[in-house]
Amino acid sequence: MIALRTERLTLRPLVETDAEAYAAMRYHPEVAKWLSPADDEPLRAARASIGRFAASWQERRYAPWGVFRQGTLIGHGGLNFVPEFGETEVLWALHPDAWGHGYATEVARVALAYGFDDLGLERIFAITLPDNTASQAVMKRLGLTYRRRVTYKGFTDIVWFDTNREIWKAGAMPNSSVAS
C-alpha cells in the first residue's frame, strides 16, 4: 500500500477507523447525489468500501486513497479498477467544505502519475453524469479528453473522458513524493 504527500494533502489507504469520517464525506447529500447509491446504511457501506479498497491494494497495488488535510479526512481520490469496462478510472469526491481549493485536481494529478509511471497503465478514464460540471472541469484541467457516452449501472448517458500515457507524459508535471 502506498501513501503519498502532495503540496497540501496526505493521501493514504483508508482503514477501519476512518469509517465514520469517510461515511460523513461519501454520504453527504451534496456528494452522494453524484455517486452510486449506498446499498446499506452509510456507516456499514463505508466499512464495506474500505474493505474493498484494501483488497484492491493487495490485488492491484492501487485503490482510491483517503485524502487528508492537516490530519482531517476531506475526501477520497485515486485509481479504481472498474470491472464493467475492464479498465482503470481516476476518481474523486470531496466534502463540500473542501470544494474550491483545487484539491481534487491535486490528488488526481498524483494518481495519474502513479498510474502511468509506477503501475505502467496505458490508459486511464474518468466518467460522470452529464450534468456534473464540477467533475468534468476537473477532467479538463487534468487534460483528459471527452470521447463518448456510455452506459454504467443503468445510467445510459454517462460521459467518458480519458487520457493515455503518451499524451499525459507530453503534458504532465506532477508534484508529489512517495512518503511510504
Point out which residues bind ligand COA (CB under 6 A). Answer: 31, 34-35, 92-94, 99-105, 128, 132, 134-135, 137-138
Side-chain-side CA neighbours of residue 134 (13 Å): 14
Cell 468534468 sits at which residue? Answer: 136
| Closer by beta carbon to ligand COA, 138 or else 144 | 138
| Closer by beta carbon to ligand COA, 12 or else 26 | 26
Q: How far is the CB of 58 from ligand COA (least distance, A)?
A: 25
User: Is 12:64 a contact under the CB 8 Å cutoff?
Assistant: no
Return all residues near 156 (Cβ < 8 A) that are at least 6 apart.
149
The residue number whose beta carbon is nearest to ligand COA equals 102
Q: How far is the CB of 28 from ligand COA (least distance, A)?
A: 8
Q: How far is the CB of 15 from ligand COA (least distance, A)?
A: 21
> Strand, helix or coil at 93?
strand
